[in-house]
């Protein structure tokens, strides 16, 4: 049985949680809450996706 590797976006979410959200929550004393967490995650994912699409367009390929 082969083990599935996490997708790039799943790895990005894990990195976002560890590198940005957890330290932010500690600094704010947990006040930021779930909605801020989701807003941060969405903003980062959108920027990464925009960057990916720009790279695809620059080399003449179509985004997957």
Q: Give the pTM.
A: 0.67
Number of domains in the chain: 1
Query: Residues near 16 by Cβ (< 8 Å), separated by ≥ 6?
Result: 40, 41, 44
Kindly state whether residue 42 falls inside one of the protein's structural domains.
yes
pLDDT in tens, 25-58: 877 766 667 778 888 889 999 999 999 999 988 8
Nearest CA among 17, 46, 45, 44 for reference residue 32: 17
Kindly state whether residue 47 falls inside one of the protein's structural domains.
yes
Kindly state whether residue 7 falls inside one of the protein's structural domains.
no
Kindly state whether residue 46 falls inside one of the protein's structural domains.
yes
Kindly state whether residue 25 falls inside one of the protein's structural domains.
no
Kindly state whether residue 28 falls inside one of the protein's structural domains.
no
pLDDT higher for 33 or 23?
23
Residue ranges making up the domain that contains 49: 12-20+34-56
Kindly state whether residue 38 falls inside one of the protein's structural domains.
yes
C-alpha 44 chain-centroid distance: 5
Kindly state whether residue 16 falls inside one of the protein's structural domains.
yes
């Amino acid at each position: 049985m082969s083990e599935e590797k996490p997708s790039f976006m799943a790895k990005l979410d894990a990195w976002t949680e560890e590198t940005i959200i957890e330290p932010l929550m500690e600094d704010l004393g947990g006040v930021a809450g779930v909605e801020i967490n989701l807003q941060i995650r969405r903003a980062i994912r959108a920027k990464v996706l925009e960057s990916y699409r720009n790279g695809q367009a620059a080399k003449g390929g179509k985004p997957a």
